[in-house]
Amino acid sequence: MIVRQLQDCEKTERLVKSKTWQSVRMLLADDNMGYSFHITTIFANTETHMQYKNHLESVYCISGTGSIVDLAKDETHQITPGTLYNLNEHDKHILYANDEDLVLACVFNPPVTGREVHDADGSYPAAS
């Protein structure tokens, strides 16, 4: 059984920060669960361009508001607490946080190793 506290993970290398977001990677590839689990905060009044070419991701909004733009379909979806969105087609997208932090629970398949940051094209590298 694996049991971890968010506040404990935040004090370790499991906390990864970028200019527009931070991610606490609570479950990683070496936990051998077949997926990784993160609590990610998109900072208020920011936009983040992403495309996970090598991963699928499910995202549940815990708090905050924002929007996600599907660039292939030119569609915008509002993100509010209780919203689940799934990047099931390696969707190229922009995630916007409104005037408060957007706190999200994220699941990645395949799992990430823990230190990934977005490449220039907004993706994580393929697992080795």
SS3 16: strand
Q: What is the pLDDT of residues 71-115, one digit of tens each?
A: 999 999 999 999 999 999 999 999 999 999 999 999 999 998 876
pLDDT value, residue 127? 58
Query: Which pLDDT score, from 0 to 100, does residue 53 have?
Result: 86
Q: How much is the pLDDT for 118?
A: 53
62 half-sphere exposure, CB direction, 13 A CA radius: 10
**How high does pLDDT run on average in the chain?**
91
Q: Which domains does the chain have, with CATH numbers?
A: 6-109 (2.60.120.10)
Are 50 and 73 in contact by the 8 Å Cβ rule? The answer is: no
